[in-house]
Amino acid sequence: MSDFKIVERLQKIDEDIQRNQLKYHAKRVLVSKEFTFDAAHHLHHYEGKCKNLHGHTYRVILGLSGYTDERGLMIDFGDIKEIWKQQIEIHLDHRYLNETLPPMNTTAENIVVWIYEKLTEAMLDEEYNGACVEFIRLYETPTSYAEARREWMEIE
């Protein structure tokens, strides 16, 4: 492998790169983070298998957009994980959704809007350079998902 090279010296701030060079641009960017959770639920006023108690391994993708700070970061992925774990996942993972969510039919369409609202509320509590929730995609199965998008949520 002729292209492989071991780094001899790590780049140092204020010597090899200046602080004003850390922020490369002033454009809006989107970052996303993905999580999974396991939960049980059943549907009301529904004729089909889902009227019975059953479970899913849900997969959720959170999409956030905003502007980078002086370091070139819009939001730390660790901060997204913290918000997810402390404010959203506690209501979902290994739970009976009909009991832990607000009164609703626990369809993917209803749950994805609830997640959108919870994440939006959490983002308002902190200052993330104008970051906002762009979309939430909730997979109920590997091939079926519901999505909430900012432009749809802000209209109504």
Is-catalytic flag, 147?
A: no
Q: Which one of the listed residues 50, 91, 117, 132 is annotated catalytic?
A: 50
Of these residues, 41, 56, 134, 140, which one is catalytic? 140
Contact at 8 Å (CB) between 29 and 68? yes
Asked about 132 being catalytic, the answer comes back as: no
Strands (DSSP E) along the chain, which ranges?
Answer: 28-41, 54-67, 95-96, 132-141, 144-149
Q: Is 50 a catalytic residue?
A: yes
The catalytic residue among 54, 82, 94, 126 is 94
- CB atoms < 10 A from the CB of 87, how many? 14
Q: Which of 20, 148, 147, 40 is nearest to 94 (CA)?
A: 40
Which positions ≥6 away from 21 have C-beta within 8 Å?
Answer: none
The catalytic residue positions are 50, 94, 140
